Amino acid sequence: MALVREEVVKTALRLLDEVGLENLSLRKLARELGIQAPTLYWHFKNKQDLLDEMHAAAMAAMDGLDGAPGPGAEWDAWLAWMARRIRRGMLAHRDGALLASAARPIGERWEHVESVLEMLGKAGFTPDAALRGIGVLTDFVLGTTLEEQQAANRAEVPAAPDPARFPAAHAAVLAASDHDRRFEHGLALILDGMRASTSER
């Protein structure tokens, strides 16, 4: 049976979950597929090309898993939904955030950026403010998810501060360990800041 591009990407994502991004190689992928490594170059120019497709597939897998905001929803509801969707897509795979940071924008992703910029423009954002807002939100989602996945991979978890000596720090560290709550708090702060920037003009 002829090897198809989609099957290569699917197998690569499964291998990513098993060995992690650092240990994912075209040679290992070829061995998993039962082919010679040069055969992969019929489908992908290089490893970077494969990583781009892997990330796109991981994000596409989130389509239809939950309902998007309904017709007439405000821009902030859409951005919150998109941020949560991207985070889930990265968390669905080992080193998903590392994969996202290594991937380059491809055609479909630029179309997505264009639609978001148009939406924010209609909401009163200047092109510069809209792009900066998207950038801050993207960096936040990627950064917090990367930290969450790296924390899960650490062999040893740092001990929390002594509550008797450092009660405030102890409470803060425990609160920060709730990644979902931490993410939602940061997301709300960013959206509040974007709302404030439009109301000031």
pLDDT in tens, 6-19: 999 999 999 999 99
pLDDT value of residue 199: 66
Residue range 11-33: average pLDDT?
A: 96
Global pTM reads 0.85
Q: Kindly state the average pLDDT of the residues 99-118.
A: 85
Statement: 70-200 belongs to CATH 3.30.70.120: no
Asked whether residue 171 carries a pLDDT value surpassing 90, the answer given is: no
What's the rounded mean pLDDT across residues 55-60? 93
Give Cβ neighbours of residue 175 (< 8 Å, ≥ 6 apart): 181, 182
Q: Mean of the pLDDT values across residues 104-112?
A: 75
Give the pLDDT score at 1: 41
Please state whether 23 falls in left (phi above 0), alpha (psi between -120 and 50) or beta. Answer: alpha
More confident residue, 140 or 38: 140
Report percent pLDDT > 90 for the chain.
64
Superfamily of domain 1-61, CATH level 4: Homeodomain-like (1.10.10.60)
Least confident segment among 37-41, 131-135, 148-152, 163-167: 163-167
Residue 158 DSSP label: P
For residues 98-122, average pLDDT: 87
Task: Say how far apart CA 151 and CA 155 lie, in whole Å.
Answer: 9
- CA pair distance 47, 59, nearest whole angstrom: 19
Residue ranges of the chain assigned to CATH 1.10.357.10: 70-200
Which ranges in the chain are annotated with CATH 1.10.10.60? 1-61
Lowest mean pLDDT among 17-31, 46-60, 145-159, 185-199: 145-159
